[in-house]
Amino acid sequence: MDKNVRIAIIGGGPAGLSAGMYLEQAGYENYTIYERNGWVGGKCHSPEYKGRRYELGAIMGVPSYYAVHDVEEFCGITHDGPRLNRNYKDLKGNVVDPFDPKKHPLSAPRLLRMKSQIKKFGELLQTKYKGYDINGHRGVAQGRYDGYAVTPGREKIEGVNENLKDLALPFKDFCEKNGVELVQDVWIGPFTSFGYGYFDEIPAAYVLKYLDFQTTMNFVKVNLWTWKDGTQSIWEHLNDAIKHPALLNSDITKVERKDGKVFITVNGKVEEFDKLIVTAPLQYFGDYADIREDEKRYFDKIDYERYDVQGFLTEDDKAPEISYYIMENMVPERLGHLMVYYHRWPDLGADQMYVTYALRKHRDLKEIDYEESKKMVLADLETMGNPAKEVIEERSWYYFPHVFTEDYAAGWYDDVEAMQDKYDTFYAGEIMSFGDMDETVEYSRELVERFFK
């Protein structure tokens, strides 16, 4: 492709900014990034309170976040934030350790079986499901893999593995099919509590693209990365480092693709490009673009999670000393309830903001209203013994776009991948890989590698 091609990128989150970075590294400098908001980073949102930054979206990374490390190296930054730790509470607010057989002797046999099943699961993933952990979903529904390994070198790998078709199953069914149903007790912590839905509805492919075995073990061992100025600072640094920073407050009202050109009306002015990369939600592409019949047919199948966060203050004598997980609330029957509340700064006392996390949607249940869920979360904090005296920040996110088992198995991803560049348009962002920052960045890297080299 001509290196002088004019490229528009819609979205200034991790996917869009990293697309600019990788294009630049590949010799394409004629790109423009449009961001609707007045800040970059998307759901990597780290507002400030009394001189410290807090996380209302993405919180952490792990050593296998190789794409995020690309960004760190490009910007000359590193993961320099506070060390994280956690504890657990039951529904009555008692501190518990669900994974310690000495503290729960009645659960010891189950915990021993779980440990055995985790070992078996690791072996199955490396053998029966070889290729499960590459970025993206190309070929999975057809029983093949085609992508880049989850290694520092990210070697290109491809092959045929009929067993990969099982990844279209809901993760609960996938685990039961393989006789490892107890691994859900471990995988649920970094999955459902972080807003990615429930194991009886979400295809295993999403769970395992994000929580491949090495990533999950890093979560278990609390081998985590954080950033002092928050995950948003990664993308602020990247925006400063690329040659063409995102144009903030860009109100795109029309995208028209004709005669091999892309015309974008932004803030009332029409700009002309040769190619378009969409990293903003594809589900809403038709709200402003000349969406085609095939695009609409596939994008209408996308669903997303309703994931809410609240930043709250509490009294000195009621402040949590650590982050707490309430595992019993991570099931559909407890939809809308508090799953985690996050304590970020161990060197500060109570004079800091704490953040709650709750899911309020399941495909088979009535969606919980935002305000109803907020009341439930505040009531849960009372029960936990850490009541909020004031909520000072809150967000209801468009979170984790995905398709369900029937569409995944029918080849949704292969069909959409076949549409890349069909209308001088490329599709990237969360839906094309997974909704965490590393997977979206890695997909942008692969998109450039596949189509712009």
CATH code for position 273? 3.50.50.60
Other residues' Cβ atoms within 10 Å of the Cβ of residue 269: 7
My answer on whether 240 and 189 are in the same domain is no
Q: For residue 398, what pLDDT is reported?
A: 95
My answer on whether 118 and 215 are in the same domain is yes
Q: For residue 1, what pLDDT is reported?
A: 82
Q: For residue 107, what pLDDT is reported?
A: 78
My answer on whether 286 and 245 are in the same domain is yes
Angstrom distance (rounded) from CA 381 to CA 371: 15
Closest CA to 241 of 23, 79, 75, 76: 75
Tokens of 20: 């600019």
Residue-wise pLDDT tens digits, 348-360: 989 999 999 999 9
> Which parts of the chain register pLDDT below 70?
103-106
Residue-wise pLDDT tens digits, 367-413: 999 999 999 999 999 999 999 999 999 999 999 999 999 999 999 99
CA angle 408, 45, 299 (to 5 degrees): 25
My answer on whether 209 and 238 are in the same domain is no
Q: Where are the beta strands (DSSP E) in 338-405?
A: 340-342, 354-359, 390-402
Let me know if residue 94 belongs to a domain: no
Let me know if residue 279 belongs to a domain: yes
Let me know if residue 263 belongs to a domain: yes
Contact predicate 146/163, CB 8 Å: no
User: How many domains does the chain contain in total?
Assistant: 2
Q: Which domain holds residue 291?
A: 7-55+67-77+227-302+404-451
DSSP structural state of residue 192: G
Let me know if residue 15 belongs to a domain: yes
Q: For residue 100, what pLDDT is reported?
A: 79
My answer on whether 26 and 152 are in the same domain is no
Tokens of 263: 């015309």
Let me know if residue 296 belongs to a domain: yes
Let me know if residue 40 belongs to a domain: yes
By the 10 Å C-beta count (0-12 exposed, 13-18 middle, 19+ buried), 243 is classed as exposed
Q: How far is CA 301 from CA 214, 405, 416, 432, in A?
A: 31, 11, 12, 13
Let me know if residue 92 belongs to a domain: no
My answer on whether 203 and 233 are in the same domain is no
Q: For residue 424, what pLDDT is reported?
A: 98
My answer on whether 212 and 274 are in the same domain is no
My answer on whether 216 and 236 are in the same domain is no
My answer on whether 211 and 245 are in the same domain is no
Q: Of the residues 220, 250, 277, which one is the last residue of a structural domain? A: 220
Tokens of 447: 């998109």
Angle between helix 437-451 and helix 66-75 axes, rounded to 10 deg: 80
Q: Of the residues 220, 244, 274, which one is the last residue of a structural domain? A: 220
Q: For residue 106, what pLDDT is reported?
A: 65
My answer on whether 293 and 427 are in the same domain is yes
Angstrom distance (rounded) from CA 42 to CA 281: 11
Let me know if residue 197 belongs to a domain: yes
My answer on whether 176 and 131 are in the same domain is yes
Rounded to two decimals, the pTM is 0.96
